[in-house]
Amino acid sequence: MESINPVTGEPLDEYETHDTDDIDTALSNAETAFDDWSQQSIAHRGTLLQKTAERLDERVEEYAELMTREMGKPIEQARAEVKKCAWVCEYYAETAAEHLQDEVIESDPDARTLVSYEPLGPILAIMPWNFPFWQAFRFIAPNLAAGNVGLLKHASNVPGCALAIEAVLEDAGLPEGVFQTLLISSSEVDPIIEDDRVAGVTLTGSEGAGRAVGRKAGEQLKPSVLELGGSDPFVVLDDAPIEATAERGAFARLQNTGQSCIAAKRFIVHDAVYDEFVDAFVDEVEALTVGDPMDEATDIGPMARPDLREDLDDQIERTLDAGAELLTGGEAVDGEGAYYQPTVLTEVPSDSAAATEETFGPVASVTRVSDEQEAIEVANDTDFGLGASVWTSDLDRGEAFARRFEAGLCFVNELVKSDPRLPFGGVKNSGYGRELSRHGIREFVNAKTIWVQHGLGEGETGDDSYAGVE
């Protein structure tokens, strides 16, 4: 497995992949590790997560540079990603006991009834390249805190990141087998999901990959969480503060070079402020610096791979052929690296590629609407339902509008983002299940009902009125 620098197209490193025997050994190690790890106290597991956070904080620069070299993320954004991974480890170290404490539920007056949240076993995580540390750690922290053990199949273009994640957990003192990286191809995933030693699977990736993994998990009657693509609407109402909204909109679309499932992709703008917003938005986009992601002044780096740039260019060309107007950008950057000009399209037909497909790169489409009702209709006219935002000077109006979005993550006057304290996930073709917060740590646990009957002494038979009981 080879990592390629997207700035130069030159190889960085080669890594030996795992074969069938290696995979079998890893699964056996995971099964053995789970037997002990699941019996450790939540406090002990939290202590090791806290140590992991400390290691991450100590190595921010090292891991940020690794991410930037492997997939082209601007260096300052890479540093922020490492720090966020430390945060999610700290969060679950502090809150896992509360999230997983027994839930006492009153039922029969002569019984003590409760729900106990208990781990399931080894969980397979299939993770993407765009946030190579964060995507993995938002799986790792809650699941290890809950007592599960992890197996990571990372994207094939970030093997260095995958191994660094395994190493930092090992350095923090996690026992052998509690977390393992598998350097394997996508074709080797199905047999792992089918293996009896694996208890569940989670994937962050494309809609196609999600359907395949969800189907395979369903065949095995194993739980799955799928965080898939998005085509997030960014709705600008007629009372929005235009300058500030345009500035936030440019970052919402172009952070991580636009390669984010929760990036704002479809800008839906009220007619009363449309021209003013478009002018301000294009100015903000054109002011961003495209360049070497290791340079502190760079806002937009290369796309992660040349084929991804080709796919984006094809989507833009098809959208222009359908009748859209190009305001800025629209072409690959000449020279080395998978660079693409930041692009803004307007008059985008509702059935064109930019309106119906996920555009995973630095391109924004802008649509004019006549009123608030049309804005919500256009926002929800998509097969995706991951994130959405609305921008307005009236917070009550904004919250009422946000409640009408068909999406899992709905923001008022803020770009869509993940936060360890809040559930993260989508609806429709953006997947199902939730990561992070209390909701995320409970995805791969057994919500076990325990009933303790009082007053049944020797010689007593208890209530004999069982007729009709299931």
- Catalytic residue positions, numbered: 227, 261
Distance of CA 393 to the CA centre of its chain: 29
In terms of Cα–Cα distance, which of 326, 284, 52 is closest to 174? 52
145 Cβ contact list (under 8 Å, min separation 6): 42, 45, 46, 49, 92, 93, 96, 100, 441
In terms of Cα–Cα distance, which of 250, 141, 246 is closest to 202? 141
Interaxial angle between packed helices 274-287 and 242-254, expressed in degrees from 0 to 180 and rounded to the nearest 10? 50
Q: How far apart are CA 161 and CA 338, in angstroms?
A: 20
Question: Phi and psi at residue 309, in whole multiples of 5°?
Answer: -65, -40
In 306-421, the DSSP E strands lie at 325-328, 343-346, 363-369, 387-391, 409-412
Q: How many CB atoms lie within 10 A of CB 211?
A: 14
Residue 399 one-letter amino acid: E
From the number of C-beta atoms within 10 Å of its C-beta (0-12, 13-18, 19+), residue 212 rates as: middle
Question: Phi and psi at residue 203, in whole multiples of 5°?
Answer: -135, 135
Question: Phi and psi at residue 360, in whole multiples of 5°?
Answer: -105, 70
Q: How far apart are CA 267 and CA 15, in angstroms?
A: 41
383, 208 Cβ separation under 8 angstroms: no
Query: CA gyration radius for the chain?
Result: 24
150 Cβ contact list (under 8 Å, min separation 6): 122, 123, 125, 139, 140, 143, 144, 178, 179, 180
Sign of CA dihedral 100, 102, 104, 107: positive
Q: How far apart are CA 135 and CA 125, in angstroms?
A: 10
Helices (H) and strands (E) in the chain, counts: 15, 18
From the number of C-beta atoms within 10 Å of its C-beta (0-12, 13-18, 19+), residue 47 rates as: middle
- In order, the DSSP letters of 134-201 are HHHHHHHHHHHHHT-EEEEE--TT-HHHHHHHHHHHHHTTPPTTSEEE----GGGHHHHHHSTT--EE
Interaxial angle between packed helices 159-171 and 134-146, expressed in degrees from 0 to 180 and rounded to the nearest 10? 40
